[in-house]
Structures are given as structure tokens and as C-alpha cells.
Chain A
């Protein structure tokens, strides 16, 4: 009898540590942040000493041109990065989906950039973009061309290039895995019917890969909003606000301007943005599951 009760408790025992940690260190802080975003909050105060200011922080931010600039930089960065990475990653996967000796070595080398600390990635690129000692400008000068002011005039572009370098392999590897798990029969049938390489790609491979591609794209999009260290090390958000993404602005508002309430409100804006994206991803997976279940049911009925 006692063992039966113990067994019924099992799932809760297994869940308990994770639940406790996540409630203390994730959910409670998030609620605390929502609460704090309605207050005029200075880092030296505890939250009970702060004044309630209603939606003031949100409204100030809404009309704050530099916050809007940050938001637009973030969106431009995220969408540029995801678009280019998707095109490059999927393209490379389609190109390299053949039997090559040493493919595993190749994949190992490709994942190196994303395993390395973002701080170090920023460090490498900052060196390479350096106006005088940097690799790129030295190369351009050796060709007799003028150097480019990478992290000055073209800061956002340079930051985007660095991110593309780091994360295209992610898309590449996921799409390659998707490609290699495609049903061979469909491809075989298309080949027998005389479909050209392009037709196979457009009408068979891409549509069949679509579920994976969409999940990949959303994962990458969510991650693109998390990028912070690379940009911090490369440009510190400058020059001006040209590379100051929201994550960076939150950290500066909290530590330099010492306005925790405003930073909390800003975090909430970012969170809402991500919530919409995640909801889209979740909804999409649910939709796919439902469709798969329906197809399976239909197939079973036919049998």
C-alpha cells in the first residue's frame, strides 16, 4: 500500500527539482520584472521602496526616439541575418547533399564557429575589421584599394556579416539532416519521370523540407533577438545607435543609466515580441501534428 502511494507520487518527485528551480529563478523573476516595470526603480533601492508610476515607463519608451531606433536596429538585424542565413544554409545543404568522403570532418569544422564563445567571436571579428591592423583592410591595401571603415560607417553590415559567419552552419546542418531523411521513393519517382535537378529541388525537396525549415527559421529568429555579446565586443552598440540592439540597450539602461523600471519595461516589450514568435512556432508545430494525425487516420481507414 505504501509503495503504491509512493509510485503515484513518482512523477511529482521527478518534476519537483526542475519545477522549484524554474519557479524560483525564472518565473518569479519574470513576474518580478513585470511588477518592477510599473515602478520608478533605481538600482540602490529595494523594490518595496519604489513608487508606483503606472504605465509611465512604457509610455516614455513608446515616444522615445532612441528606443524606437534600437527596436528598428534589432528588427533589421534579426530579419537580415535570418534571411541571408536561411538562403545560404539551405543552398549549401542542397549543394553538399552528396556522398562525399570526409563529410563528418566537414560538419565538425562547420560547427566550430557556433560552439565558440560569442565574446571570442566578437574579439576575432573586431580584430579583422580593425581599420589599420585588421585583416580585411590589410588585404584591401595590398590590392592597392582604400580600406573600408568597417565598424564605423558600415557597422550594422559588419555585425550582420559576423553573425552570418557564426550561424549559417546551424541552418546548414539542420537542413542537411532534413534532406537526408527525405523519403527516397519520392525523389526516385521524380527522377524516373525525368525531373531536372532544379525541378526536383523546387517541387519535391523544398516542399518536403518545409516543416523543418520553418521550425529552424523560427528557432534562429528567436536566437537572433538574443545576440548581445558579439555586438557588445565589436562595437559596444556604436557608432551612435547604429548597432544598439534591444538586448544591449536593456543592459545599458540598467547598468549605465541606472533606470531599472525603464529597463524592465523594455524587457517586457522584447518579451512580447518573442512571445508572438514563439506562439507562432508552437501553433505551427501543433498544426503539423494535427495534420500528420489526420493523414495517418485517413491512411488507416484506407487499409
Chain B
């Protein structure tokens, strides 16, 4: 009996490997397809010269990035797609919001786990409840508030200063600025980050912190010098998830951004809804948007999986 089991562990049934191959093909196939197509000209995509028999070209990527290339493109007389600018916007918004979410989130998670204080249960319950709020529900209030309420009047000192420096008419509002999008991304990601980090902080042995306190460290020193280094894997997982959400988000960004603060997902959706889709170029932009998350996945899949299972399996 035991021998039979050992044998099964060493050499699996051939059908088993066929299943594995099929699963890998299914999960990676569409991504590979897009990758291949992004190097094809539209003629090749539409005529259906199937498989890998085509001349790879980087023309699609050149078209996509035309506004930040330093040389003129021959096949293009006008740079319609401002992909480069959108890419930079996406980077700014994602990086700043990820860093801030992590800092704010791990402080809150630490307080929720380690201290007993008034309102702790309320805070913890609220965090859990707002996790379920879909971005679509936030669309209406955020649109209204960011455009009309969260403004600095143009008559006030600060408003006048911003007006003079950056130009424009009317009041200075959060909508249309990077800061506006960053704020809502931080708020959206915080509950999730707090939730994940809590499960990591709980595992830090309390004695370690108490020892540090005995040696005269303040609570802040304990947090920054003892706890933070110990929950690095958790921070990595949380960072990747925040990055992913901020990098991929479309709906709220589309409601809040203006011409100059567009992010990449908005650009892709706008170009998709046109009647005649330029498949090659759109797939190149899609690929560029997908590359950062793919790199993170390949580099840190272990952290991602721990992060994913931390909440559901352990707590």
C-alpha cells in the first residue's frame, strides 16, 4: 500500500501531465496570443496568416510610444495616441499611492493588533465593512465631491497662488489632479492592506517587542526597528496588491482625470470603443500595461500567494 503510493508520487499518470499541460496552455495562451499579436501588423492579424509565420515588427510599440520617442516615425505623420504621457501618469499615481498606502496601512494595522484603545472594535469593523465597497459605488459621490466640494476657492490666498502658478479658471479642485486620483486609491486600498498586514503582525512574537521596550525603546522605535523588518514578506505582498489595483484601475480614474492626467487603462478603453479597432497598436498598449504586473508576478509569486492565502486561510 505504502509502496504503491510512493510509486504514484514519483511517476504520475500520463493523463495527469496532459491535464497540467492543458491548464498551462489555457492560462498562459491568451496572454501569449496577445504578446505575439502585438508584434504583428494589422494586415497580418486580419488576413489571419496563422501561427508564427510573420515578420515581427516593433512598429506597434513605436506608434504607441510616439509622443515620448526622440525620433520621428516614418509610418506616422501625426501622433494621435499619447501613450507615453499616460504611462508616466500611471507610474506617478501608482507609485505614490502604493508607498503612502503601505506606510499608513501598516501603522494602522499595528495599532489594531497590538494596542487596546477606545474605538478599536469600531475601527476594525469599519475596515472590514468598507472592503466590500465596489469602485462603481464610489463613482457618484467621488465625482461630486472631487469636482464641487473638495476645492480651494479662487478668492482665497492658496487658491489664488495655485491659479497664478498653474493657470486655469474657476476654483481649484481635486478632480483632474494626480493628487485627487491618488487620494481615492489610497482610501480604496487601505482596508485591504490593513487586513493583510494584521495577519502578519499577529505572528510577530510579543516577547521580542517587550524585550525592546525593556531596553528603553519607545513604541515608535519598536514599530520601525523591530516590527517592520519582521513583516517584510507581508509588506511585499501588500505592496504588490496595492500596485496591481492602482495600476489596473479604470473607472474612478476615468471619472476624475482630465486630458493631462489620463492613465493607461483609460487610453486603452477609449481606443477600444472606436468602431474600427487597430488591433496591433491596441495590443501593444495592452502588453505595455500588462508588463509591470507580469514582472512582479514572476519575481514575487511566493509573496503574492502568501498574501492571498493569509487572509482567507489563516484568519
Is this pair of chains taken from one and the same complex?
yes
- Do A225 and B134 touch across chains, with their CB atoms under 8 A apart? yes
- Among A59-67, A79-87, A200-208, A266-274, which stretch is in contact with chain B? A266-274
Contact A120/B9 with A7-B219, A106-B24, A127-B283 known, Cβ cut-off 8 Å: no
**Is B104 close to A, CB under 8 A?**
yes
**Is B260 close to A, CB under 8 A?**
no
Contact string against B for A residues 1-43, beta-carbon threshold 8 Å, 1 for contact and 0 otherwise: 0010011001110110111011011111110110010000101
Contact string against B for A residues 62-104, beta-carbon threshold 8 Å, 1 for contact and 0 otherwise: 0000000000000000000000000000001001101110001
**Is B190 close to A, CB under 8 A?**
yes
Chain A residues whose C-beta falls within 8 Å of the C-beta of B279 in the assembled complex: 127, 133
Residue of A nearest to B266 (CB): A119
Contact A18/B145 with A111-B304, A113-B27 known, Cβ cut-off 8 Å: no
Chain A residues whose C-beta falls within 8 Å of the C-beta of B117 in the assembled complex: 11-12, 15
- Do B294 and A115 touch across chains, with their CB atoms under 8 A apart? yes
Chain B residues whose C-beta falls within 8 Å of the C-beta of A285 in the assembled complex: 315
Chain A residues numbered 156-201 whose CB sits less than 8 Å from any CB in chain B = 165, 169-170, 173-174, 177-178, 181, 191
- Do A18 and B190 touch across chains, with their CB atoms under 8 A apart? yes
A225 to B131, CA, bound (A): 13
CB-contact partner of A254 in B26, B104, B143, B265, under 8 A: B143
- Do A138 and B50 touch across chains, with their CB atoms under 8 A apart? yes
A19 to B279, CA, bound (A): 45
Chain A residues whose C-beta falls within 8 Å of the C-beta of B135 in the assembled complex: 226, 228, 247
**Is A241 close to B, CB under 8 A?**
no
Scoring A109, A236, A248 by chain B CB atoms within 10 A of each residue's CB, the highest score goes to A109
Chain B residues numbered 262-315 whose CB sits less than 8 Å from any CB in chain A = 265, 268-269, 272-273, 279, 282-283, 286, 289-290, 293-294, 296-298, 301-302, 304-305, 308-309, 312-313, 315
**Is B176 close to A, CB under 8 A?**
no
Contact A135/B33 with A18-B194, A29-B142 known, Cβ cut-off 8 Å: yes
Contact A14/B108 with A106-B24, A236-B273 known, Cβ cut-off 8 Å: yes
**Is A263 close to B, CB under 8 A?**
yes
Chain B residues whose C-beta falls within 8 Å of the C-beta of A113 in the assembled complex: 27, 30-31
Classify the secondary structure of A's interface with B. Answer: helix
A188 to B315, CA, bound (A): 26
A104 to B298, CA, bound (A): 11
**Is B214 close to A, CB under 8 A?**
no
Chain A residues numbered 191-250 whose CB sits less than 8 Å from any CB in chain B = 191, 212, 215-216, 219, 222, 225-226, 228-229, 232-233, 236, 246-248, 250
What's the tally of chain B residues with a CB closer than 8 Å to chain A?
A: 99
- Among A147-155, A275-283, A293-301, which stretch is in contact with chain B? A275-283
A26 to B129, CA, bound (A): 11
- Do B297 and A14 touch across chains, with their CB atoms under 8 A apart? no
**Is B226 close to A, CB under 8 A?**
no
- Do B308 and A116 touch across chains, with their CB atoms under 8 A apart? no
- Do A178 and B313 touch across chains, with their CB atoms under 8 A apart? yes
What's the tally of chain A residues with a CB closer than 8 Å to chain B?
A: 98
**Is B82 close to A, CB under 8 A?**
no
- Do A232 and B269 touch across chains, with their CB atoms under 8 A apart? yes
Chain B residues whose C-beta falls within 8 Å of the C-beta of A21 in the assembled complex: 104, 183, 186-187, 190
CB-contact partner of A277 in B132, B137, B138, under 8 A: B132
**Could you jot down 27 A-B contacts, CB within 8 Å?**
A12-B117, A18-B105, A21-B187, A22-B187, A22-B190, A22-B191, A29-B142, A30-B133, A33-B140, A108-B301, A111-B308, A112-B27, A112-B294, A123-B272, A124-B30, A124-B31, A165-B27, A165-B30, A173-B308, A181-B313, A222-B131, A229-B251, A251-B139, A251-B251, A274-B132, A278-B128, A278-B131
Chain A interfacial positions (CB closer than 8 Å to B): 3, 6-7, 10-12, 14-15, 17-19, 21-22, 24-30, 32-33, 36, 41, 43, 46-47, 92, 95-96, 98-100, 104, 106-113, 115-120, 122-128, 133, 135, 138, 165, 169-170, 173-174, 177-178, 181, 191, 212, 215-216, 219, 222, 225-226, 228-229, 232-233, 236, 246-248, 250-251, 254-255, 260, 263-264, 267, 270-271, 274-275, 277-278, 282, 285
Nearest 6 interchain pairs by C-beta? A25-B187, A247-B136, A18-B108, A29-B141, A117-B248, A11-B115
